[in-house]
Structure 1
Amino acid sequence: MKPAHATTPEELVIIRRAYAKQVKAVAGADNPAVERAFATVPREDFLGPGPWQIPRDWGNYAPTPSADPVYLYTNDLVGIVPERRINNGQPSLHFYLLARAAPVAGEHIVHVGAGVGYYTAIMADITGPDGKVTGIEYDPDLAARARANLAPYPQASVIEGDGSSVPFEDADIIYVNAGATRPAEAWLDRLKPGGRLVLPLTTDLNFSEDGWSNMHQRGAVFLITRREGHYDAEWISPVAIFPCVGTRDDASEKPLAEALGRGNVKRVRKLYRSNTIPRERCWLKAPGWCLAYD
């Protein structure tokens, strides 16, 4: 039998361009720099040798038909540690969140939860040689893989450790790639004026066996922008995502779950580093912080 055609490097260039446009269409967001990065960065350089494991049903994975990288250019998660349900995330969600964060060349982006570095590399492509990307990864094995994978990107570095507490330089964007119950103090402290924090807040049920159902009641992504004397806040997406070590506590999880159950998340406009705001003005009120309607 004639062997299957292997996708050539020249064909992959075209396929990546099509992939970027398809992901952009699913995301419903338009950002030329983000689209260019998705069309440029080779996903296969970050995910190890194929065939690759693709989640098809919750808890179940299926291998790609072969090790041809063409199978990576779909809007699918890809297992990086399937036995722990750790995946390279859905491209359309990352396209959308990055587009909302609006990164530009020359900025410093901090990527909390860098995994194996694929989306960190996309950020490095966007920020360019005059910018900087700091990836932070808690898992030692993933941090080592990300560090090796990002060797071709001199503007990117990887720190192994807890993304809520390891030191990093002030950032234009902090892109959190794991579910917290509260914003880490360091994330708010280290945002430059005008800086943007992409913040997934998730309940304890978010990563449970049925966490994908009623996702809008299990997790929400907020875009937090530092202004003079305050922080603007805007809901931008529901989310189901791996928990973030160091930023989960019962004192914030309970009011978060209650707030998500009530709805009205799209009315949120401000984040306050205080719980002195009257409860009637708050969507979520927790010890030391709140998300408010005004």
Structure 2
Amino acid sequence: MTKRAGIEEIRGFYARVMAAASKWSDPRLERAFEAIPREAFCPPGPWRLIINGRPIETPSADPTYLYQDVLVALDAVKGINNGEPSLHAAWMGAVAPQAGEAVTHVGAGTGYYTAILQMLVLPSGTVTAFEIDERLAGLARRNLEPMEGVTVVQGDATRQPLPKSDIIYVNAGVAAPPVDWLDALNPGGRLIFPWRPSDKIALTLLVKAESGGFTVSPLMRSWFIPCVGASGELTPLRLPQSTEEVRSLRSIWRTTDRTPDATAVAVYPDVWFSSEQLEG
């Protein structure tokens, strides 16, 4: 009779799947997903899994149920979840954290993906995790206490200065990133966030700080709850008119640096998105 797999074997296979989903050849990502126990960052089981928008309760508190590519409810009333692992693996592959880099995590929840990001910037890197929800921030602080180089900030990341960062990793839907986030990027820094300029658009954008400005690469679809201070509070001056326009994004500009022109795909008071490639 075949022996039932233990939690270590199941977590190891889950980590292999996430490494494949990341499309990143760095073996550190698989090791990070294997080392960080997801159950330590979730509420006590049984758990509510979210599949295609529908909740499904696990039969018991056996942590093996968590090692699937599913959302896990953290606050069902507010719609806050521990996000889809394969999406985060793909994002991490896109931003490619390196040892010694400084990461800012906006919307850290209870800290699961914060912990994985911290493992990817070891031994000398740091992660500053912002979480606006007081209860979740308290849980993240407790969960991440054993990890060196992690700071949890309870507060609104759109209303206070971010530390200088090589990576800004945003887990809440953003209509337009605050100028302060762009200013916080070090040369070569990467900002990844779910772009939600309207209810019909849910697209991951990867922004890179280059010598001539900020490039933009549209990636995969992504659905997150709105980011307080950077979503419905902003008044768009122009929104994309078609899917082709959305996919044409190539750069983002501060309006103080360049006035929106005919290449504009979306315009907000402080920043605008362009279909024009950066020169050079």
> Under a length normalisation based on structure 1, what TM-score does the superposition of the two structures give?
0.86
Query: Which of residues 243, 251, 263 is equivalent to 1:270?
Result: 251
C-alpha distance in 2 between matches for 1:289 and 1:184: 8
Q: For the residues of structure 1 that align with 2:208 and 2:225, how far apart are their CA atoms?
A: 24
Closer, same or farther: CA 51–282 of 1 in aligned 2, 3 Å: same
Question: Is the 2:22–2:90 Cα contact (8 Å) retained in structure 1?
Answer: yes
Report how far residue 200 of structure 1 moved: 1.6
1:230 to 175, 188, 213: 213
Instruction: Give the drift of 1:27.
Output: 4.8
| AA of the residue aligned to 1:43 | R
CA distance in 2, matches of 1:129, 1:148: 21
2:89 aligns with: 95
1:74 aligns with 2:57: no
For residues 83 and 268 of structure 1, what CA distance do their matches in structure 2 show?
Answer: 35
Structure 1 distance, partners of 2:16, 2:70, is: 15
Compared with structure 1, are the counterparts of its residues 94 and 57 closer, same or farther at alpha carbon in structure 2 (3 Å cutoff)?
closer
C-alpha deviation, 1:285, in angstroms? 2.6
Stretch deviating more after TM superposition (82-91 or 135-144) = 82-91
Deviation at 1:39, TM superposition (A): 1.5
Q: Give CA deviations for 1:171-211 in whole Å, capped at 9, x if unaligned.
A: 00000110111111211111001100002211453xxxxxx
Which residue is equivalent to 1:214? none
Q: What is the CA distance between 1:103 and its match in structure 2?
A: 0.4
What amino acid is aligned across from residue 282 of structure 1 in structure 2? A
Alignment counterpart, residue 32 of structure 2, candidates 27, 30, 37: 37
- Are 1:243 and 2:226 counterparts? yes
- Which amino acid in 1 is paired with 2:83? G
Match of 1:213 in 2: none
Match of 2:271 in 1: 289
Q: One-letter code of the match for 1:151? A: E
1:21 shift after superposition: 1.7
Identity %: 37
How far off its partner does 1:23 sit? 2.6
Change (3 A) 1:270 1:203: closer
Shift of 1:250: 4.3
| Secondary structure, counterpart of 2:123 in structure 1 | coil
C-alpha separation between the residues in 2 aligned to 1:24 and 1:133?
Answer: 21
Counterparts of 1:95-134 in structure 2, within 5 Å, are 95-134=89-128
Q: Distance in 2 between matches of 1:85 and 1:140?
A: 15
Q: Residue in 2 aligned with 1:210? A: none
Instruction: State the 1:288 CA deviation.
Output: 3.0
| Correspondence for 2:15 | 20
User: C-alpha displacement at 1:218, in angstroms?
Assistant: 2.1
Residue type of the alignment partner of 1:290: W
The 1:57/1:269 distance shift into structure 2, 3 A limit, reads closer
**Equivalent in 111, 124, 144 of residue 138 of structure 2:** 144
The answer for the alignment partner of 2:178 in structure 1 is: 184
Quote the offset at 1:124 in angstroms.
Answer: 0.8
Q: CA RMSD in A?
A: 2.0
Work out the CA distance in 1 between the residues paired with 2:112 and 2:170.
14
Question: Which residue number corresponds to residue 44 of structure 2?
Answer: 49
Q: For residues 97 and 23 of structure 2, what CA distance do their matches in structure 1 show? A: 17
SS at match of 1:84: coil
Give, as a single letter, the amino acid of the residue that structure 2 aligns with 1:251: T
Unaligned residue ranges in structure 2 (runs of 5+): none
1:201-220 matched pairs, under 5 angstroms: 201-205=195-199, 217-220=200-203
The range that moved more, 265-274 or 70-79, is 265-274
Give, in whole Å, the separation in 1 of the partners of 2:95 and 2:164: 16
Task: Indicate the larger mover: 130-139 or 47-56.
Answer: 47-56
Secondary structure at 1:54 match in 2: strand
TM-score normalised according to structure 2 size: 0.90
Give yes or no for the alignment of 1:197 onto 2:180.
no
Q: What does 1:138-177 correspond to in 2, within 5 Å?
A: 138-177=132-171
Cα contact 1:165–1:186 (8 A) shared by 2? no
Instruction: Find the aligned partners of 1:199 and 1:183 in 2 and give their Cα distance.
Output: 9
Unaligned runs of 5+ residues in structure 1 are 206-216
Q: How big is the shift at 1:35?
A: 2.2
Instruction: Specify the code of the residue in structure 2 equivalent to 1:65.
Output: P
Q: How far off its partner does 1:26 sit?
A: 4.1
